[in-house]
Amino acid sequence: MALQNKYQQLIDTANTSGVSNLQVKEQDGVLYIDGEAPSGAVKDKLWDVYGSIDPNFLSGDVVMNVNVATAVAGAKVKVVTEKSNLNIRKGPGTDQPIVGKAAHNEIITLVSKSSDQWWLVRTDDGEEGYAYAQYLAPVE
Amino acid sequence: MKRTFSHLLNASLLIAVTSIWLFSCKPKIKDEDIQTQIQSNTAFSHLVATVKDGVVTLSGECKDEADKTACESAVRKIPGVKDVVNNTTIAAPPPPPASVVIAADDPLTQGITDALKDFPTVKATAKDGIITVTGEATTANWKKIKMALDALKPKKVDASALTIKK
């Protein structure tokens, strides 16, 4: 319970901002927070709160895995790389050959989710392949 | 002396006559009979045999050394076979079964590789579900990395050895 107290504000934020399927579990000195945020903004907010309680996330006592619920098959997603193009690969993994690129800030289509990490996407040019999900944000 | 010679002659004659009689009466097994015996035996269906003067030459492909030896000794036991020339070959061993597809040693390790691809100054390893992060990163980059690592569902992310650059 100690960790739940430490991160109470984070849990409260998750509850009040509409995170669905929220699961908070404390086990062996680690607090696990799972759920689906209604938007990318809510996910960002959660991480901001987390960072305010544990500066730089260095305590190692939280594993937070919150997905964005709007990232569903057929949704439009924006390439949110820092500035470079996003690789589109033949399969889900950085060891897979690159079959295309999506430009920074380009809007592409989420075809399906291979995993939480790798999404099958299609560009407007018709290039299709797997992209690293962290660089894709649902267009809201 | 004369008598002894006569005895010897008689004995020789007797031996000669007996030999001829024995030889002529020995049941002569024809090459064709041997050939038929081999061909009719399904144990040799994978072999080709030629017989000449009681000498059987075997060719064809045996499945292994044991099969080759067994066929040869079985043919040797056929009445009338004087010798066997075993020219059979041994089939190449069947190719090993296709290797079983093994998933990545550790999904965490694969996930770490993917997550850290754009952050060469950061290293991480997974052991017993715990991801240990070393190296250095900016605050902003570390946040991205932490988000990616947490999404791999680790037991814990230990970044106590990570240096945060201002």
Q: Are B134 and B124 in contact (CB under 8 A)?
A: yes
Which part of chain A has CATH 3.30.70?
2-68
Q: What CA–CA distance (Å, rounded) separates A14 from A24?
A: 10
The CATH number for B107-165, chosen from 2.40.30.10, 2.40.160.40, 3.30.420.40, 3.30.70.1770, is 3.30.70.1770
Q: Cβ B156–A58 below 8 Å, yes or no?
A: no
Residue B99: its pLDDT value, please? 47
Instruction: Kindly report the nearest CA distance between residue A59 and chain B, in angstroms.
Output: 7
Residue B26: its pLDDT value, please? 54
The architecture CATH gives domain A76-138: Roll (2.30)
Q: Cβ B151–A47 below 8 Å, yes or no?
A: no
Measured between CB atoms, does A91 come within 8 Å of chain B? no
* Lookup result for tokens 């050895």: B161
**Cα angle A65, A71, A75; round to 5:** 170
Q: What percent of chain B has pLDDT over 90?
A: 38
Q: What is the mean pLDDT of chain A?
A: 93
Instruction: Provide the H-helix boundaries in chain B.
Output: 2-25, 31-40, 65-76, 107-116, 139-150
Which part of chain A has CATH 2.30.30.40?
76-138
* Chain A residues closer than 8 Å to B151 by CB: 65, 67, 116-117, 134
Q: What CA–CA distance (Å, rounded) separates B164 from B166?
A: 6
Residue A83: its pLDDT value, please? 87
In this structure, the number of other CB atoms found within 10 A of the CB of residue A90 comes to: 13
Query: In sequence order, what are the beta bridge partners of A137?
Result: A78
CATH number belonging to domain A2-68 = 3.30.70
* Chain B residues closer than 8 Å to A14 by CB: none
Spans of all domains in chain B: 2-90, 107-165
Q: Are B78 and B37 in contact (CB under 8 A)?
A: yes
**Cα angle A117, A122, A123; round to 5:** 120
Query: B2-90: which CATH topology?
Result: Histidine-containing Protein; Chain: A; (3.30.1340)
Identify which has the larger pLDDT, B105 or B70. B70
**What mean pLDDT do residues B112-141 have?**
93
Q: What percent of chain B has pLDDT over 70?
A: 78
* Residue B14: band (very low, low, confident or very high) from pLDDT cuts 50, 70, 90: low
Q: What is the ipTM of this complex?
A: 0.88
Using the 8-state DSSP alphabet, how is residue A59 labeled?
S
Q: Give the tens place of pLDDT for each residue, A15-67.
A: 999 999 999 999 889 999 999 999 999 999 999 999 999 999 999 999 999 99
